A and B are shown apart, each in its own frame.
Chain A
Amino acid sequence: MFKKFSSEEVSAQNQVKASVQRKIRQSIAEEYPGLEPVLDDILPKKSPLIVAKCQNHLNLVLVNNVPLFFSIRDGPYMPTLRLLHQYPNIMKKLQVDRGAIKFVLAGANIMCPGLTSPGGALDEEVEAETPVAIMAEGKQHALAIGFTKMSAKDIKAINKGIGVDNLHYLNDGLWKMERLD
């Protein structure tokens, strides 16, 4: 969804109220318990939090003009890949095999067979409709952030079709937008 994304698509950005800010922090903390100890570093209480509204019901959370989280239609907040690379263990991870990397980096959704094949790996606890980090066989860093369409068990059982929606991947528009002014 960020295949083509540029600052032009930001329709409005404003500093949010303290109460909204608190809400965002809370929901992020809930979603990513692993992030809690460093949440103050990522989202400093003092510095203003900016929410940028973009097309397609997309919200970006910015701190110091750096996009850190995004959410769709008031869905869960998901970290950007740059943030995820810094704190790799905050999200559940799914691993795709080597053959899939090329397609994922072109924006394709993650198909079940790529996750179940020998090169892939599944976290059994992953439910449907949760944000996950997509890792790759033999690679150390995440290459995409996705939103599961089915639970890990279903992925294994059905083994067909789209397992994870690809939301944000390396070298897409959001990745290239290191700063938003």
Chain B
Amino acid sequence: MAEKPQPVRVLYCGTCSLPPEYCEFGPDFEKCKPWLIQNVPDLYPDLVKEANEKEAGKAANQLKNTSISSGSDDGAASSAPKQEAVKRLPGGKVKKKEKQEVVIEKVIRNKRKCITTVKGLELFGVKLSDASKKLGKKFATGASVVKGPTEKEQIDVQGDISYDIVEFITETWPDVPETSIFFIEDGRKVPAA
């Protein structure tokens, strides 16, 4: 074979690394837009039009309310996209801010034995290993830090200690208000206070 197929040079979006035609399905189309307008204006004709309209609108505005010549400069600054504080999850969903609360759940094991799990203490800046030690000491049972579902750590305490764990938590860690402690009863969240 004399002829070698040459590798196709594919342009990838500078923002999301996808081929530009897939930017619209990418993680953050909005952020890609400036890059797209600059580098592949013919791919999304609508975008360019949109941008031009915006520019035009801006120019008109400037004409209206600027008398000093520095107008063009601040127009450019305002068109820069604002930094978004929220972290985006893949799929465009915005991550919810974690609610600060302690959830206590009793899990029955072997019919008459149970385990009390405490979730969410770490949100109050409590060191889980310390907390499990304290809990174990106070109730004279085994208490351990375990990886709960979805990579979250929780404390498992042997035995049913739900009766006075609330008091204990509020006493040992004053940062934890009683109002943010919840029990799970029959799959429902019940405030402890």
Q: Using a CB–CB distance below 8 Å, which chain A residues touch chain B?
A: 34, 36-38, 41, 82, 85-89, 101-102, 105-106, 139-141, 143, 170-171, 175-176
Contacts and interface: CB of A to CB of B under 8 A. Distances in A.
Interface stretch (B4-12, B51-59, B97-105): B4-12
Interface residues of B, number: 19
Given A37-B5, A38-B4, A86 B22 contact: no
Contacts, number: 52
B42 interface: no
B4 A171 contact: no
Given A105-B25, A106-B91, A141-B10, A89 B19 contact: no
A141 B17 contact: no
A171 B21 contact: no
Given A34-B5, A140-B19, A171-B26, 15 more contacts: A37-B3, A86-B8, A86-B10, A89-B5, A101-B25, A102-B25, A105-B26, A106-B91, A139-B22, A141-B10, A141-B19, A170-B19, A170-B22, A171-B16, A175-B17
B91 to A, nearest CB: 6
Contacts of A82: 10
20 contacts: A37-B1, A38-B5, A41-B4, A82-B10, A85-B8, A85-B10, A86-B9, A87-B5, A87-B7, A87-B8, A89-B5, A102-B25, A139-B22, A140-B19, A140-B21, A141-B21, A141-B22, A143-B22, A171-B16, A175-B17
B37 interface: no
A171 B29 CA distance: 13
Given A85-B10, A86-B10, A106-B91, A37 B4 contact: yes
Nearest to A36: B1
B41 interface: no
B114 interface: no
| Max chain A C-beta neighbours (<10 A), residue from B1, B4, B8, B91 | B8
A4 B74 CA distance: 42
A88 B8 contact: yes
Interface in B1-51: 1, 3-5, 7-10, 16-19, 21-22, 25-27
B192 to A, nearest CB: 36
Interface string B117-133: 00000000000000000
Contacts of A101: 22, 25
A171 B19 contact: no
Contacts of B21: 139-141
